[in-house]
Amino acid sequence: MNLQELQCNLSGLCANGGLKVIGASIVTGVTSFFSNDFFVYFIYFVVLVVLDLFTKQLSLSARYLAKKKGVDVADINLKAKFLGVAPAFDAGAINSLYMRDKFSKKLLTYLLVVGSAFFTDCMICGGSDNFIFFKLSVAYLAVSEFLSVLENLRDCGNERLGRLIELINKKVDKVL
């Protein structure tokens, strides 16, 4: 390779250098985010929120079918509850705008709470792994979503879950 080819290659590498640095920084940040524990927690929260919304739809479907058939919610079988989601949407018993809005607000709130707790821990604890507020926030939000899923399933006609909900609430009250 001669000197002129070397200069041509170097100028090609240096062209739009600022843009390349910004792009590389973004790619590095995104890939490090996906390998971070926060991404894993975020995915867990997404799954919990989706389960919450799905069980809420089942609950609303069961109420819709019970009212339509004039029976108790517990008398409607699980298959009918699943199949009743679409008719409940059509009848307006389930509002997709409300569900979508609730989903995005929950995730944004969870990100803000957990992120704020993480930064608070970083300020207080420095670089150590003693993330007290982060762990407490994650635990509280996860238990809240879990309880919401249980409440929705109870409202679907699984009345025995009421005792489990009471037990979990008592345990949470003792801890907090």
3-state per-residue secondary structure call for 64-103? HHHHHHCCCHHHCCHHHHHHCHHHHHHHCCCCHHHHHHHH
Domain count of the chain?
Answer: 2
Q: Which two tokens stand for residue 65?
A: 């079918």
Same domain, 121 and 149: yes
Same domain, 21 and 42: no
Give the model's pLDDT for residue 31: 65
Q: Are 76 and 69 in contact (CB under 8 A)?
A: yes
Same domain, 22 and 50: no
Same domain, 105 and 123: yes
Same domain, 58 and 140: yes
Along the 176 residues of the chain, how does pLDDT read in single tens digits? 677 777 777 776 677 767 777 777 777 666 665 666 667 777 788 888 889 888 988 988 898 999 888 898 888 888 888 888 888 888 888 887 766 777 778 878 888 888 888 888 888 877 666 778 888 888 888 888 999 999 999 998 888 888 999 998 888 877 76
Same domain, 171 and 95: yes
Same domain, 167 and 105: yes
Give the model's pLDDT for residue 123: 85
Same domain, 23 and 110: no
Give the model's pLDDT for residue 117: 87
* Residue-range definition of the domain harbouring residue 66: 37-175
Same domain, 31 and 41: no
Same domain, 107 and 21: no
Q: CA torsion angle for 166, 40, 112, 139 (degrees, to 10)?
A: 30
Give the model's pLDDT for residue 147: 92
Same domain, 18 and 55: no
- Residue 54, CA distances (Å) to 51, 87, 133, 175 in order: 5, 15, 29, 29
